[in-house]
Amino acid sequence: MCGIVGYIGYEQAAPFLIDGLEKLQYRGYDSAGVCVNDGEKLVVKKENGKLTVLKNMTDNGNNIAGTVGIGHTRWATHGKPSNENAHPHLSRSCSFAVVHNGIIENYMELKQELSAKGITFRSMTDTEVVVQLMENCYNGDMIDTVIRVMKMLKGSYALGIMFKDNPDEIIAVRKGSPLIIGIGEKENYLASDVPAILEKTRKIYRLDNDEIAVIRRDGVTVYDTNKNVRNKPVEIIEWNIDAAKKDGYEHFMMKEMMEQPKAVHDTIAERIKDGRVILDEIHLTPEQIRKFEKIHVIACGSAYHVGVVAKYVLENVLRKPVEADIASEFKYRDPIIDEKTLTIVISQSGETADTKEAMKEAQKRGSYAVAIVNVVGSAIASEADDVIYTLAGPEIAVATTKAYSAQLAVIYLLAIYFGDILGKISETDYQSYVSELQALPEKIQSILQTKEEIKNIASKLFACKDTFFIGRNIDYALSLEGSLKLKEISYIHSEAYAAGELKHGTISLIENRTLVIALATYGRLFEKIVSNIKEVQTRGAYVLGIGCEDHPELKEIAQSAILIPKTCDMMLPSLAVVPMQLFAYYVALFKGCEIDTPRNLAKSVTVE
């Protein structure tokens, strides 16, 4: 998703804006720009390409004078990456400037109406429609004008707005896309995410949907669309700015992989007391839990892959039907869901648009929604009936690692907690599950210590053109994430298949030196996956096996193999995912790919 920053104070704005944009690069972008009010006019500097182009052009912002400004990193949706399509956008008289995250769904209709009035457009973006509307609708009162424009727009958006004739304020608007306001001393800030402003302040307001903020040097006033003043609670950011730095690692992804033991430990530690799983933060009663007849797990991307693991785990432990749904499909398939359905929604950012809309659809049909998110105060967290936070800390790399592992940990907590209430877990199994869950951080750490071995394997295989991940049962669920990790950061074509489906078509794609990564951790089906390994080897495949240490023979069966510590079946994904993450990382490293910011991808997808 694009990045927004803003500053108003007594210091020069542009250097801060560029520094803030640099801290938001992880969100994905293809162009960058800033707008500063120099006291007489709105000065815009924007360039296609990496932020370094803009930094060099403006001497890190030092050659742009002015103490009020907004900046933006754009990820192209409407209009190809170009200088003309980069943000900020100016109105026809250059009186208004706008930066925008999100999508204006009715922009073509609005553009045609404005064009009929003789207004010409410089770009192909939906955003320029907003700034031209601002000027066209301006009636002398900025708040009235903003509200009028909001009522004309359809879609989701976060806006930063400047008006040449109001040099002492920035207007911020949120509908669907996240936006925060940082509170300083005689200066205030605007951003789409915390890292952009954390070096300046830990005090923030999180704007809610349909809120408008007027940001001045000496304070912030927030309005609703009826022009009523809203009293916003101040949130204190607890995590340190160092959490958003690489700390000597070459990439954030490696840093975050190495942080997984801590992320899992922090997520479970305060929720296990005296050997029992305690989920005080949810309001679900035992009576409600017993009444649920089925469970839907809704998510996108890697979070959806957690959902597929959850299907196997929750069905096995609870003996209730569980469906894993891709959020973007859920809302539009007229799902069979009611008050006897529990909906679990998973999102790292808590702002994922498809997941949020799917959750609303489930709630509308009477379902109780429990959210698993990493960001306190995010939209999904605020709108769910209950929320369980993954305590993974900030995740900067686009490809998730520690957030995925923390989400898995919450699924295990829910399985144990619900299973106990439903009487589906014996006391012996309960204690075993809790013990294995508490042991996960140490076992993950032991796998991370083998990274040089995995790096060596990757050095021999990084030139592969096509890769197939195969597995059975929970190994198949995990193979989806392994495949995604490889293709999203290395750009190698990769697919995940249930191993039993090979003979139903996929095996025709196997040829000499095709890489097949076979997950063989699920002990009860070990012999069957070995048969699948033999099938692909017969057709020329090179097999990298991932199995448990209680099956050392995998090293003799596959051309290469990685063995992980043994744990209970449902927690195997938390261990087996680590070598797949490391393998994907090192393959991308050997290929020279941009690991933290892979092409065309954004960290948070806040539009449908």
DSSP code string of 121-138:
-SSS-SHHHHHHHHHHH-
| Residues whose CB falls within 8 Å of the CB of residue 434, separated by 6 or more in sequence, listed in order | 272, 275, 276, 277, 416
Q: Give pLDDT tens digits for 83-130.
A: 888 899 999 999 999 999 888 999 999 999 999 999 999 999 999 999
pLDDT at 445: 97
Q: Catalytic residue positions?
A: 2, 603
Ranking 243-252, 271-280, 438-447, 595-604 by mean pLDDT, the lowest is 595-604
Average pLDDT of the residues of the chain = 92
In this prediction, residue 51 carries a pLDDT of 85
Q: Is the pLDDT of residue 178 over 80?
A: yes
Helices and strands, counts by H and E, the chain: 19, 27
**Separation of alpha carbons 174 and 181, rounded Å:** 11
Percent with pLDDT over 70 in the chain? 97
Query: Which helix H or strand E contains 542, and what residues bound it?
Result: strand 542-548
User: Is the confidence at residue 396, as pLDDT, over 90?
Assistant: no
* pLDDT above 90 for 590: yes
The pLDDT of residue 242:
64
199: its two tokens: 């070096």
pLDDT at position 499 is: 87
Is the pLDDT at 404 greater than 80? The verdict is yes
pLDDT score recorded for residue 254: 95
- Segment 5-26 shows an average pLDDT of 91
SS3 sequence, 339-401? Answer: CCEEEEEEECCCCCHHHHHHHHHHHHCCCEEEEEECCCCCHHHHHCCEEEECCCCCCCCCCCC
Q: Which of 153-157, 375-379, 450-454, 465-469 has the lowest mean pLDDT?
A: 375-379
pLDDT of residue 546: 97
pLDDT confidence tier of residue 429, bands split at 50, 70 and 90: very high
pLDDT band per the 50, 70, 90 thresholds, residue 608: low
Angle at which helix 260-269 crosses helix 402-421, to 10 degrees, equals 30
Long-range contacts made by residues 280-286, C-beta under 8 angstroms, separation at least 24? 281/386, 281/387, 281/388, 281/389, 282/370, 282/386, 282/387, 282/388, 283/385, 283/386, 284/368, 284/370, 284/386, 286/421
- β-bridge partners, 80: none
Q: Is the pLDDT of residue 492 over 70?
A: yes
Average pLDDT estimate for 247-265: 93
* Amino acid sitting at position 310: A
Sheet holding 229-230: strands in order across? 89-90, 96-104, 155-163, 170-175, 211-216, 219-223, 229-230
**Is residue 605 pLDDT above 70, yes or no?**
no
- Whole-structure pTM value: 0.81
139 contact partners, CB below 8 Å, separation of at least 6: 145, 148
Specify the pLDDT at position 285: 94
Q: Which residues contact 473 (CB under 8 A, 6 or more apart)?
A: 312, 522, 524, 525
Among the residue ranges 19-28, 407-416, 491-500, the one predicted with the least confidence is 19-28
Question: Domains (ranges, CATH) in the chain?
Answer: 3-237 (3.60.20.10), 247-447 (3.40.50.10490), 450-596 (3.40.50.10490)
